[in-house]
Amino acid sequence: MKSSFKWMLASLAIVAGWCLSLGATAWAGSPEGMRLYVFSSGWLNIDKSALQTGAAPGRIQIPVAFFLIKHPKGNVLFDTGNNDRIITDPTYWGPMAASLDPGRSPDVAIDVQLEKAGFKPSDINYVILGHMHLDHAGNVGKFPNATIVVQRDEITNAFWPPPGYAGPYITSDFAMLRSGLGESMPNKYKVIELNGDLDLFGDGSVYIHRSVGHTPGSEMVVVRLPKTGPVVLTSDACYLMENLTKNLLPSVGLAYDPAGLLRGYAWIKHMRDVEGADVIFAHDPETFKAHKHSPEYYE
Ligand SMILES: [Zn+2]
């Protein structure tokens, strides 16, 4: 009796260990065939102290990540990078062009990059916007067939931000989302206006998490892949891995709600520690380099 009890405990321990290790590497509830592609819309050369208060002055070169999630119920973009107009028209960003010194070449255009992975802009069913700054909502207008998924607070903030926060919003990036004169319905595109979280397909595989901090309507996404497991895509809710580990905030103009940013960091850490989630920041050069890039993908 005693030895069979011991055997039962040992078996339970083995099963529990197996479940834990499985949890970090796979997500059984997500549909087969799901994929996550990682892209960069060129790069920016920015002073590190903008991304991290107290950092020594000096520019660093950072990626401008955006993502494509292939799911049986639809293809989803998370963020859309820099507006492709800057490739041919350096004045499009006005004074922001000098402060961000963007890298531009024809091969970073979003349609060129999507095509290399086998997708046309018309194949995109949803565009989730982490927020609407120039390096995230830049190409939203290239997807008129898609449903835009964005926090209502971000839409109102992008069109008319409070003093001190207007610089990174280029209104012509997203003016096309608004209906024409005399229309009582404001949205010209299909838009899901959120004031909170959304489980996009109802199966937990693409979960949008509202995270007010960097901007009034920032949101992150956790993608739960059948083989890779959960991956958190931060947009600008956290800039660098070092910001996350040391709880460092960006400069004032990029921290609309500092306490909210720290709440967002805590959520990322929770996802990492409890679900074993990988984290891909939009602008961290080291962690970006360490990931697979399109046309390779995660399953
Ligand atoms: Zn931003």
User: So what's the architecture of 35-289 in CATH?
Assistant: 4-Layer Sandwich (3.60)
Please tell me the predicted confidence (pLDDT) of residue 18.
Answer: 43
pLDDT higher than 70, residue 9: no
294 CA distance to ligand 1 middle (Å): 23
Identify whether the C-beta of residue 83 lies closer than 8 Å to the C-beta of residue 133.
Answer: no
Interval 153-161 mean pLDDT: 97
235 CA distance to ligand 1 middle (Å): 7
pLDDT higher than 80, residue 21: no
Please tell me the predicted confidence (pLDDT) of residue 5.
Answer: 54
253 CA distance to ligand 1 middle (Å): 10
Interval 163-178 mean pLDDT: 97
pLDDT higher than 60, residue 24: no
Interval 175-182 mean pLDDT: 96
Residues of the chain with pLDDT > 90, as a percent, come to 89
215 CA distance to ligand 1 middle (Å): 7
293 CA distance to ligand 1 middle (Å): 21
Give 60-109 pLDDT, tens digit per residue. Answer: 999 999 999 999 999 999 999 999 999 999 899 999 999 999 988 999 99
256 CA distance to ligand 1 middle (Å): 11
Burial of 279 (0-12, 13-18, 19+ CB in 10 A): buried
Residue 15 confidence class, pLDDT cut points 50, 70, 90: very low
Please tell me the predicted confidence (pLDDT) of residue 19.
Answer: 43
198 CA distance to ligand 1 middle (Å): 21
pLDDT higher than 50, residue 17: no
Residues of the chain with pLDDT > 70, as a percent, come to 92
Please tell me the predicted confidence (pLDDT) of residue 104.
Answer: 85
Query: Average model confidence (pLDDT) for the chain?
Result: 93
17 CA distance to ligand 1 middle (Å): 40
Please tell me the predicted confidence (pLDDT) of residue 13.
Answer: 46
Please tell me the predicted confidence (pLDDT) of residue 90.
Answer: 86
Interval 134-155 mean pLDDT: 98
Residue 23, sorted as left (phi over 0), alpha (psi -120 to 50) or beta, turns out to be alpha
Interval 242-267 mean pLDDT: 98
pLDDT higher than 50, residue 292: yes
Interval 246-271 mean pLDDT: 98
296 CA distance to ligand 1 middle (Å): 26
Please tell me the predicted confidence (pLDDT) of residue 296.
Answer: 98
136 CA distance to ligand 1 middle (Å): 7
**3-class secondary structure per residue, the chain:** CHHHHHHHHHHHHHHHHHHHHHHHHCCCCCCCCCEEEEEEEEEEEEEHHHHCCCCCCCEEEEEEEEEEEEECCEEEEECCCCCCHHHHCHHHHCCHHHHHCCECCHHHCHHHHHHHCCCCHHHCCEEECCCCCCCCCCCHHHCCCCEEEEEHHHHHHHHCCCCCCCCCCCHHHHHHHECCCCCCCCECCEEEEECCCEECCCCCCEEEEECCCCCCCCEEEEEEECCCEEEEECCCCCCCHHHHHHCCCCCHHHCCCHHHHHHHHHHHHHHHHHHCCEEECCCCHHHHHCCCCCCCCEC
71 CA distance to ligand 1 middle (Å): 26
148 CA distance to ligand 1 middle (Å): 18
Please tell me the predicted confidence (pLDDT) of residue 11.
Answer: 52
122 CA distance to ligand 1 middle (Å): 26
137 CA distance to ligand 1 middle (Å): 10
Nearest by Cα to 135 from 92, 198, 164: 92
Instruction: Please give the single-letter amino acid code of residue 294.
Output: S
214 CA distance to ligand 1 middle (Å): 7
33 CA distance to ligand 1 middle (Å): 31
Residue 26 confidence class, pLDDT cut points 50, 70, 90: confident
20 CA distance to ligand 1 middle (Å): 35
240 CA distance to ligand 1 middle (Å): 13
